[in-house]
Amino acid sequence: MSRAPRIAVAVFPGTWSERDFAHVASTLGWEARLVWHTETDLGEPDAVVLPGGFAHGDHLRTGAIARFSPVMKAVTDFAAAGGPVLGSCNGFQILCEAGILPGVLLRNDHLEFRCDWQGLRVEHAIGPWLNDLAAGEPIRLPISHGEGRYHADAATLDELERSDRVALRYSDDAGMVSADANPNGSLRSIAGIVNERGNVLGMMPHPERASEGELGGTDGLRLFRSLERWLVAQPAAAERRL
């Protein structure tokens, strides 16, 4: 791919991380287009981001109303065609409500909103979003959520593990997974998962908030670098017009 990557960042009423994603994209020389939730055309992106926030006020359930926004039809089609989609925090909640990813995010087990740096262990280091990382590697990213407790029935959890679709687990800074290192009570310490095809990643942490050294860490930047590498390696996918 010769031109700069182009990402579409969906914006719902109450989304709060869209400009952070656009800012990181601009520091990399990428093009980022903010797409209001009533729009139906994503504008031929290479990848789509559903950022964090409180879409539609999180009313009824997180992501429950956002799922019906017109832009979600385009996001669903883009994902179904194999396009790279990243849902972070509220974006992960929306992907689950929309049925693009399995499971649901419940109130944190301690009922507190948790805003902190969090250790994570990379479990699934392939695909468009994580290929620049290594399986088993510990990373640190910020979390910022009140409803991040991943839940799915046991059969779904077993299937996620069997098919290597658990992407990230909460851990200490050395990558050790334990109940103490789990910030919200997520089942099996799950912090992020991918869909069957591997092109859609949902994760509670915020990579866009850890992409510049001044902010305390750059592990998040590696998700952007992963996408860049993936697009270069798959010119056919990158040049696809969806």
Partner 1 sequence: MRWLAEVHVRLQPGIADPEGQTIAGGLRSLGFGSVGEVRAGKLLRLVFQAADRAAAEAAIDSMCRQLLANPVMETADWELLVDDDPGDEATA
Nearer to partner 1, 34 or 64 (CB): 64
**Residue placing its CB nearer to partner 1 in the complex, 46 or 97:** 97
- The continuous run of DSSP H or E covering 34 comes out as strand 31-36
Q: What is the total count of residues that contact partner 1 (CB under 8 A)?
A: 19
CA angle 214, 193, 145 (to 5 degrees): 50
Between CA 186 and CA 229 the distance in angstroms is 31
Q: What letter represents residue 64's amino acid?
A: A
Annotated catalytic residue 89: yes
Q: Which of 19, 33, 151, 229 binds partner 1 (CB under 8 A)?
A: 151
Name which position in 4, 60, 81, 135 contacts partner 1 (CB under 8 A). 60
Q: Does 97 bind partner 1 (CB under 8 A)?
A: yes
Active site (annotated) includes residue 96: no
Distance CA 175, CA 190 (A): 13
Closer residue to partner 1 in complex, CB, 97/208: 97
The least distance separating partner 1 from the CB of residue 111, rounded to whole angstroms, comes to 5
Query: Using CB under 8 A as the criterion, what x/- string covers residues 162-191 for binding partner 1?
Result: -----------------------x------
Tokens 């040049």 found at:
239
Site for partner 1 contains 155 (CB under 8 A): no
Which residue, among 156, 146, 144, has the nearest Cα to 187 in the 3D structure? 156
121: helix, strand or coil: strand
Query: Among residues 89, 96, 147, 228, which one is catalytic?
Result: 89
Q: Is 134 exposed, middle or buried (0-12, 13-18, 19+ CB in 10 A)?
A: exposed
Could you tell me whether strands 114-122 and 138-145 are parallel, antiparallel, or unpaired per DSSP bridges?
Answer: antiparallel
CB of 108 to partner 1, least distance (A): 7
| DSSP collapsed to 3 states, 160-221 | HHHCCCEEEEEECCCCCCCCCCCCCCCHHHEEEEECCCCCEEEECCCHHHCCEHHHCECCCH
Is 208 an annotated catalytic residue?
A: yes
* Catalytic residue of the set 97, 147, 208, 228: 208
Give the one residue of 106, 126, 237, 242 binding partner 1; rule: CB under 8 A.
Answer: 106
Q: How far is the CB of 82 from partner 1 (least distance, A)?
A: 25
Q: How many CA atoms lie within 13 A of 135 on its CB side?
A: 8
Stretch binding partner 1 (CB under 8 A), from 40-48, 100-108, 164-172, 220-228: 100-108
Q: Which residues are near partner 1 by CB under 8 A?
A: 60-61, 64, 68, 96-97, 102-104, 106-111, 151-153, 185
Catalytic residues: 89, 206, 208
